[in-house]
């Protein structure tokens, strides 16, 4: 016991530490093979469903709504009558006529016709702000129409070069994750927006066919189809390494080391498309070729404690 206490207070000079101060590593390799398959390159983004053109319909006069002929979700044609309204004067005359009887009301209705509210465009009614009997001013938007619902997708500036007009895309709504809606790019913004140092561009994606369950304000995910190839040679992305003369992979050599493991050797390859998970092998390897992926693991548990008199405890 006394000997251990003396050793503990000795200065560090002159102590020889046996062993390495860092864990030793021993590279092992996982073997994969070059396979033939299909590869799709996509750009993913998120956005919001919004009307492509949102049109507020305001009445030409102030007054009262007599009859509403449409409801939210209806497909509307240009020139279609949406509602009948009375001016403030007509509404007052009709109210007075009701006190004198039905014949008086009919007489004034024939003299003083109601005013129609008409649709200025073809489209869908997305907002109805009035009900029969409700009063309004000529500044109130009694209806709102949209010609098309589109997805306003936020595309990162690093991906915007891969987005083109008329490019196909697939829309998935958060509210209906099991349904996909094909679409096409109709507009790419020229001006960027920057939020939290992230620069994005708004890309309009128009659905090929309007869906009854699609609503303005819904959150959407958009998958833009950039490129695709069928029946090409593929390797996992982690197998590709970058060298001074270009990309290469590790392949098993014929010689063995002392542990009986194969020495890896560098084989240059030419690569093509990548979807982030797999990489197309254009040349340098044949189908079925073996490729090694290094897996590094610690061969030692950690540094040796210089104050442990008997070294590391063996298990």
Return the CATH architecture of domain 42-51+148-227. Beta Barrel (2.40)
Find where tokens 């009887």 sit.
101
Task: Give me 253's structure tokens.
Answer: 């050599």
3-state secondary structure at position 6: helix
3-state secondary structure of 18: coil
User: What Cα–Cα distance (Å) separates residue 93 from each residue in 61, 84, 90, 105, 276?
Assistant: 16, 16, 5, 9, 73
| 172: CB partners within 8 A, 6+ apart | 179, 180, 181, 220, 221, 222, 223
Write the CB contacts of 117 (distance below 8 Å, at least 6 apart in sequence).
57, 59, 81, 82, 83, 84, 85, 142, 143
Cα separation, 227 vs 272, whole angstroms = 11
Domain with CATH 2.40.50.100 in the chain: 55-146
The two structure tokens encoding residue 183? 């679409």
pLDDT means over runs of 10, the chain (315 residues)? 40 36 57 94 94 90 95 92 94 90 88 93 92 93 91 95 95 95 96 92 92 89 94 95 93 66 84 92 95 71 46 44
Domain with CATH 2.40.30.170 in the chain: 42-51+148-227
pTM of this structure:
0.60
Q: Which residues share a beta bridge with 57?
A: 143
Burial state string for 177-205 with b = 16 or more CB within 10 A and e = fewer than 16: eeeebebebeeeeeeeeeeeeeebbbbbb
CB neighbours of residue 79 within 10 Å: 11
Q: Into which CATH architecture does domain 55-146 fall?
A: Beta Barrel (2.40)
Domain with CATH 2.40.420.20 in the chain: 25-39+230-298
List the structure tokens of 134.
């409700």
Q: Cα 16 from chain centroid?
A: 59
pLDDT at residue 295, rounded to an integer: 80
Pair of tokens at residue 31:
């073997």
Burial class for 13, CB neighbours closer than 10 Å (0-12, 13-18, 19+): exposed
Place of tokens 């369950």: 213
Tokens of 113: 């016709």
CATH for 25-39+230-298? 2.40.420.20
CB count in 10 Å sphere of residue 213? 10
How far apart CA 116 and CA 143 sit, in angstroms, is 13
Sign (positive or negative) of CA dihedral 206, 210, 215, 216? positive
Asked if residues 142 and 129 have their Cβ atoms less than 8 Å apart, the reply is: yes
* SS3 sequence of 256-290: ECCCCCEEEEEEECEEEEECCCEEEEEECCCCCCE
């Amino acid at each position: 016991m006394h000997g251990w206490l003396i050793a503990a207070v000795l200065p560090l000079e002159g102590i020889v530490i046996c062993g390495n101060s860092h864990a030793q590593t021993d590279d092992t390799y996982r073997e994969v093979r070059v396979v033939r398959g299909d590869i799709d390159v996509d750009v993913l983004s998120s956005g919001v469903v919004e009307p492509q053109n949102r049109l507020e319909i305001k009445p030409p006069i102030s007054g009262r709504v007599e009859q509403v002929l449409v409801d939210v979700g209806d497909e509307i044609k240009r020139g279609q009558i949406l509602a009948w309204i009375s001016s403030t004067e007509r509404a007052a005359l009709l109210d007075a006529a009701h006190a004198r009887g039905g014949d008086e009301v009919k007489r004034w209705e024939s003299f003083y016709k109601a005013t129609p509210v008409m649709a200025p465009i073809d489209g869908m009614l997305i907002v109805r702000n009035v009900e029969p009997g409700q009063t309004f001013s000529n500044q109130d938007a009694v209806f709102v129409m949209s010609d098309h619902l589109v997805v306003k997708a936020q595309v990162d500036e690093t991906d915007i070069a891969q987005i083109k007009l008329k490019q196909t895309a697939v829309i998935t709504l958060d509210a209906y994750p099991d349904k996909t809606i094909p679409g096409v790019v109709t507009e790419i913004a020229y001006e960027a927006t920057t939020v939290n140092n992230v620069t994005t561009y708004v890309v309009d994606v128009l659905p090929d066919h309007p869906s009854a369950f699609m609503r303005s304000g819904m959150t959407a995910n958009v998958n833009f189809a950039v490129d695709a190839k069928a029946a090409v040679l593929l390797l996992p992305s982690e197998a590709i390494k970058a060298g001074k003369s270009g990309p290469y992979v590790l392949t098993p050599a014929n010689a063995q080391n002392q542990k009986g493991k194969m020495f890896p050797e560098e084989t240059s390859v030419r690569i093509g498309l990548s979807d982030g998970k797999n990489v197309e092998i254009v040349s340098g390897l044949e189908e079925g070729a073996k490729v090694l992926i290094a897996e590094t693991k610690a061969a030692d548990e950690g540094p040796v404690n210089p104050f442990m008199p008997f070294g590391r405890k063996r298990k």
